[in-house]
Amino acid sequence: MHEVARRFARRGCFAAFVSLFAVGLLAAPSSAATSRIKDIVQVEGVRENALVGYGLVVGLAGTGDALRNAPFTQQSLEAMLERLGVNTRDARLNTKNVAAVMVTAKLPPFAAAGSQVDATVSAMGSAKSLMGGTLLVTPLLGADGQTYAVAQGSVQTGAVSASGASGSSVTKGVPTSGRIASGAIVERETGFQFNAMRQLRLNLRNPDFTTAVRVADAINRRFPDAARAQSPTIVQLSVPATSTTSGFVTAVEALPVETDTPARVVIDEVAGVIVMGADVRISTVAISQGNLTISVRETPAVSQPSPFGQGETVVTPQSSVEVDEEKGRGLVRLPAGASLGSLVSGLNALGVTPRDMISILQAIKAAGALQAEIEVL
């Protein structure tokens, strides 16, 4: 019993997890791969739009921009005060309670005027922290240069920063970037007339010829001659005359489709993570793995002369070199067409570590026996 426990510990929790994952994939019914069309495609044109703006954050406790080092902050502050009727032409501004920031937001599809979205605020100049600051009214522009939203509100950084008189400081998080929850109000709609469209395109999130054809077939079984697969990514749709565009898309999104993906092995060498798909197959191959350990020990010895001798006491090094080669478990033979479970079981039988498993998989691929694509992150 103790021997089994030692073997399990040597193989590592990672190999055990991969084994359980593989067994789960092999034992799962074929319907487990069925997904709704909604989860695997995106309707072309129905997407978010990026917004950006430039503004000022005020109310900082001396952690804002140094106006001498950030002239754009000083110019913006002077222009804002001029618009509010305050003459600052002859004044020499010297404050650290203001910071110039860039404000970004995502405009959701079909967002109506008056709805609210989150805004992200990031410092541009030499500000040390935006904690406790308030963003003044900032127009948010789209790619066409039009204002689609206006942001204002208190900035929440979620960071902690402290410093001492000796110069030591502690910072947790990023105090120069924060969010304003529901801080941007939509002022203009995109004007996208979705219901007026009679031709649509579905974009597969994971392009694949087989999946695209299956999506088109599933739609045509419900709506005859309404779909056609144009490429691994695009499925062309024609809205039936008896349906509205929104109602047609709603019915299409609920249809189940069995997805298909190419055989692929993803390896993260830095973290030692391996992810293998259930369709990974290998040709006939034999694997043997062992470790060679070389130990060099230096043991100092004292050489002392006789009591009445003229010699000196010296330290003489003594070296010991040992070579320890782990006895292999022999060759593990995997037959042609072996599945993921056979591959993982064979590697676990060798008691390999995740690092060794990565090397073995790459060697099997180099030998031409791994019928899958290897992607190294």
Task: Considering only residues 197 and 326, tell me which one the structure prediction assigns the higher pLDDT.
Answer: 197
Mean pLDDT calculated for residue range 13-21: 39
Answer yes or no: are the C-beta atoms of 325 and 242 closer than 8 Å.
no
pLDDT of residue 147: 95
Task: Considering only residues 33 and 150, tell me which one the structure prediction assigns the higher pLDDT.
Answer: 150
Answer yes or no: are the C-beta atoms of 63 and 96 closer than 8 Å.
yes
User: Residue 138: pLDDT above 60?
Assistant: yes
Answer yes or no: are the C-beta atoms of 187 and 216 closer than 8 Å.
no
The pTM of this model reads 0.66
Confidence band of 194 (pLDDT split at 50, 70, 90)? confident
Segment (H or E) for 221: helix 209-222
Place of tokens 């789960």: 24
Confidence band of 337 (pLDDT split at 50, 70, 90)? low
- Neighbour count for residue 83 (Cβ, 10 Å): 8
Domain ranges, ordered by start, for the chain? 35-46+193-258, 49-160+170-186, 264-305+314-376
Cα-trace Rg, the chain = 33
User: Residue 346: pLDDT above 60?
Assistant: yes
User: Residue 235: pLDDT above 80?
Assistant: yes
Q: Which two tokens stand for residue 168?
A: 């030591």
Rounded alpha-carbon distances, angstroms, from residue 102 to 32, 106, 117, 287: 45, 14, 16, 56
pLDDT of residue 263: 81
Confidence band of 223 (pLDDT split at 50, 70, 90)? very high
Mean pLDDT calculated for residue range 239-266: 90
Mean pLDDT calculated for residue range 251-273: 85
User: Residue 12: pLDDT above 60?
Assistant: no
| pLDDT, the chain, mean | 79
Confidence band of 280 (pLDDT split at 50, 70, 90)? confident
User: Residue 333: pLDDT above 70?
Assistant: no
pLDDT of residue 70: 84
Place of tokens 């939203």: 149
Mean pLDDT calculated for residue range 182-207: 90
Mean pLDDT calculated for residue range 28-53: 81
Classify strands 332-334 and 285-287 as parallel, antiparallel or unpaired. Answer: antiparallel
Q: Kindly indicate whether the domain formed by 35-46+193-258 is annotated with CATH number 3.30.1360.
A: yes
